[in-house]
């Protein structure tokens, strides 16, 4: 089989037109160079060089081989550079998942911007996936990193959960609601309200966190006539179907018909986490670090 070394040696001899000069430029002994060229000719079954008194010149077969191989060395060098960059977390494709309650806004959007500036040779393949599903995707190697809303009911030993700073919870109210002028509310104030979100029996996430907080105050959230477990819940609030409790990171998604009021309860917070395989790729580890910094910066600003 033809080796990269043989191709490199062949191109050097073809360029120099002289075995001695090519050997000096390659820092190899001339007999070793001659053996490699002979082995290449034997492998191809073609004479590549005509030996002359003052050097060598390419045969027609050698000219054709040189034309085909001229770009191979550069391509291999480029491939080697790209591979090293991938190993350093400086290039490649990052398969990133995020839950609907960790929207493409706020800290996550800031993290993507910073990642793009720091690693311009990388590409991010982004998808919105439920937190529970993210665990399975990361564990199976179909995703490199996830950003999930807690709690997550099903864990996998192959997936590490890296906690992010908690976010304060807000109440999203339709315009004209009796509470819209309040500077702040308590969760207990919402006991009689219709909620446009509901818990999925097999999933955790934001709805389960909100339900657990309400249960701790002695009431079960009453379901609105139309519900959603996605960011479309804010559209339902704006349409007057009910209220929603959302993390601060979703505030930027509220439309003109939505009023946001902070919750003052000490435990009115929602947590998120970065999901990584136990042995993350350098690119995934780099994004995770940027993501944690973006969340911490958002917490400081708050």
CATH of the domain at 16: 1.10.10.10
Residue 78 lies in a domain: no
Can you tell me which residue has the tokens 């999933």? 203
Q: Are both 252 and 132 inside the same structural domain?
A: no
Dihedral (Cα; 118, 120, 121, 125), 10-degree rounding: 100
Q: How far apart are the first and last CA of the chain?
A: 63
Residue 124 and residue 209 in one domain: no
Same domain, 155 and 275: yes
For the segment 278-302, the average pLDDT, to the nearest whole number, is 85
Are residues 259 and 187 part of one domain? yes
Contacts of 265 (CB under 8 A, 6+ apart): 186, 187, 213
Q: Give the residue with greater pLDDT, 41 vs 85.
A: 41
Per-residue pLDDT, 87: 64
Whether the per-residue pLDDT at 77 is higher than 70: the answer is: no
Q: Please indicate, yes or no, whether residues 264 and 275 belong to a single structural domain of this protein.
A: no
150-197 tens-digit pLDDT: 999 989 999 999 999 999 999 999 999 999 999 999 999 999 999 999
Measured between alpha carbons, how far is residue 29 from residues 22, 50, 242, 280 in Å?
10, 20, 83, 44
The answer to whether residues 101 and 14 belong to one domain is: no
Determine the pLDDT at residue 299. 56
- How many domains would you assign to the chain? 3
Domain end position, chosen among 38, 70, 102:
70
83 assigned to some structural domain: no
The verdict on 190 and 264 lying in the same domain is yes
Q: Quick one: which of 176, 293, 174, 184 has its CA closest to 242? A: 174
pLDDT at 57: 92
155 and 283 in a common domain = yes
Last residue of a domain, one of 19, 37, 70: 70
Is 70 exceeded by the pLDDT of residue 83?
A: no
- 112 and 28: one domain? no
The pLDDT confidence band at residue 297, using thresholds 50, 70 and 90, is confident
Averaged pLDDT score across all residues of the chain: 90
pLDDT of amino acid 78: 65
In a domain, 85, yes or no: no
In this structure, are 156 and 197 located in the same domain? Answer: no
Mean pLDDT over 265-280 rounds to 96
Residue 175 lies in a domain: yes
What was the pLDDT predicted at 223? 93
Q: Is 190 among the domain residues?
A: yes
pLDDT band of 302, cuts 50, 70, 90:
very low
- Tens digits of per-residue pLDDT, 223-249? 999 998 788 899 999 999 999 999 998
Distance between CA atoms of residues 192 and 189, nearest Å = 8
- Residues 185 and 263 placed together within one structural domain of the fold: yes
Domain that holds residue 9: 4-70
Span 66-91, mean pLDDT? 69
Has this prediction a pTM greater than 0.85? Answer: no
Whether residue 82 is contained in a domain is answered as no
Could you tell me if residue 184 is inside a domain?
yes
Does the pLDDT at position 71 exceed 80? no
81 lies in some domain: no
Average pLDDT over residues 208-235: 92
104, pLDDT greater than 60: yes
Q: Tokens in use for 153?
A: 């009911």
| Statement to judge: residues 216 and 263 lie in one domain | yes
What CATH code is carried by the domain that includes residue 235?
Answer: 3.40.190.10
């Amino acid at each position: 089989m033809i080796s990269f070394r043989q191709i490199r040696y062949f191109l050097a001899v073809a360029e120099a037109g002289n075995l001695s000069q090519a050997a000096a430029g390659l820092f190899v002994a001339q007999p070793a160079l001659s053996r490699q060229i002979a082995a290449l000719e034997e492998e191809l079954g073609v004479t590549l060089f005509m030996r002359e008194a003052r050097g060598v010149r390419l045969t027609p077969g050698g000219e054709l081989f040189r034309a085909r191989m001229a770009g191979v060395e550069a391509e291999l060098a480029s491939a080697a550079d790209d591979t090293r960059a991938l190993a350093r977390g400086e290039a490649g494709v990052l398969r990133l998942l995020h839950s609907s309650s960790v929207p493409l806004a706020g800290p996550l959007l800031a993290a993507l911007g910073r990642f793009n500036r720091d690693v311009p040779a990388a590409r991010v393949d982004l998808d919105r996936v439920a937190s529970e599903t993210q665990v399975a995707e990361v564990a199976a190697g179909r995703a490199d990193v996830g950003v999930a809303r807690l709690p997550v009911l099903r864990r996998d030993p192959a997936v590490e959960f890296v906690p992010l700073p908690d976010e304060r919870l807000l109440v999203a109210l339709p315009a004209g609601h009796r509470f819209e002028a309040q500077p702040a509310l308590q969760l207990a104030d919402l006991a009689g309200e219709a909620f446009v979100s509901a818990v999925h029996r097999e999933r955790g996430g934001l709805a389960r966190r909100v339900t657990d907080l309400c249960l701790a105050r002695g009431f079960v959230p009453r379901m609105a006539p139309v519900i959603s477990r996605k960011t479309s819940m804010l559209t339902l609030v704006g349409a007057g179907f009910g209220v929603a409790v959302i993390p601060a990171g979703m505030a930027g998604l509220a439309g003109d018909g939505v009023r946001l009021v902070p919750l003052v309860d000490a435990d009115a917070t929602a947590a998120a986490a970065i999901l990584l395989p136990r042995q993350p790729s350098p690119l995934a580890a780099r994004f995770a670090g940027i993501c944690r910094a973006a969340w911490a910066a958002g917490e400081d600003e708050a």
